[in-house]
Amino acid sequence: MYGPYKGSAQNGGRPIYVFKKKDKDGKVVTTSSNKARVDYKKATGKSLSRNVDVDHKDNRGRAGKDSRKNLQTMSHSKNVAKENRRRVGKK
């Protein structure tokens, strides 16, 4: 596990971890995961399915509010709806 690194503009600058693993053929496979997701998994020991997002209860999570108390799981569709409502409120 490498990181956390600052994410790109494509993911809103959210911190990510990079993982390098060898597959059964010996090839190195590189993947990445959101820092909040990794922190939640470490704190709870729960493995999350791909359609579940780890969300920040208050949306200042990118500014360093990644404590376990501020993280919650929700379906991807509900998380997108929450973000869209937040964006509409900003004018």
Give the C-alpha separation, 32 to 2, whole Å. 9
Element (H, E) at 60: none
Q: What is the CB-side half-sphere exposure of residue 58 using CA atoms within 13 A? A: 9
pLDDT tens per residue, range 9-35 = 877 778 899 999 999 999 999 999 888
What residues does each domain of the chain span? 2-89
CA torsion sign for 22, 15, 47, 40 is: positive
| Model confidence pLDDT, tens digit, residues 42-55 | 888 988 998 999 88
CB-CB contact of 53 with 14 (8 Å): no
Strand order in the sheet with 16-22: 2-5, 16-22, 28-34
